[in-house]
């Protein structure tokens, strides 16, 4: 397994009230959140993000693809925190 850093962190709001902000900087962090802490059961982008993160951890994809997929999944789940927020 090879963990990779994202070029730019992704901030997501998790927890029951979505009041806990996570700054996701690595592929392994994103994969952990997608698998263990995601607020909705599944979605099209959620599945794609899981595959992209696992592919990056296996060395088959670059971190930028995993990051983009993670951002799309966060938008789909309405948990993406904009940088200025």
- 29-48 burial: b if 16+ Cβ within 10 Å, else e: bbbebbeeebbeeeeebbeb
Tens of pLDDT, residues 7-34? 999 999 998 888 899 999 999 999 999 9
The residues spanned by each domain of the chain are 5-81
Tens of pLDDT, residues 28-53? 999 999 999 999 888 999 999 999 99
Query: How far is Cα 51 from Cα 47, in angstroms, rounded to an integer?
Result: 6
Provide the pLDDT for residue 17: 83
Contact 53/70 with Cβ under 8 angstroms? yes
Helix boundaries (H) for the chain:
27-32, 44-57, 63-76
Provide the pLDDT for residue 48: 98
Closest CA to 65 of 4, 2, 12, 14: 4
């Amino acid at each position: 397994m090879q963990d990779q850093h994202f070029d730019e962190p992704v901030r997501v709001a998790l927890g029951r009230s979505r009041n806990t902000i996570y700054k996701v900087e690595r592929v392994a962090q994103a994969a952990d959140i997608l698998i263990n802490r995601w607020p909705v059961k599944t979605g099209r982008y959620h599945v794609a993000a899981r595959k992209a993160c696992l592919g990056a951890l296996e060395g088959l994809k670059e971190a930028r693809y995993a990051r983009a997929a993670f951002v799309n999944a966060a938008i789909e789940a309405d948990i993406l925190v904009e940088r200025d927020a």
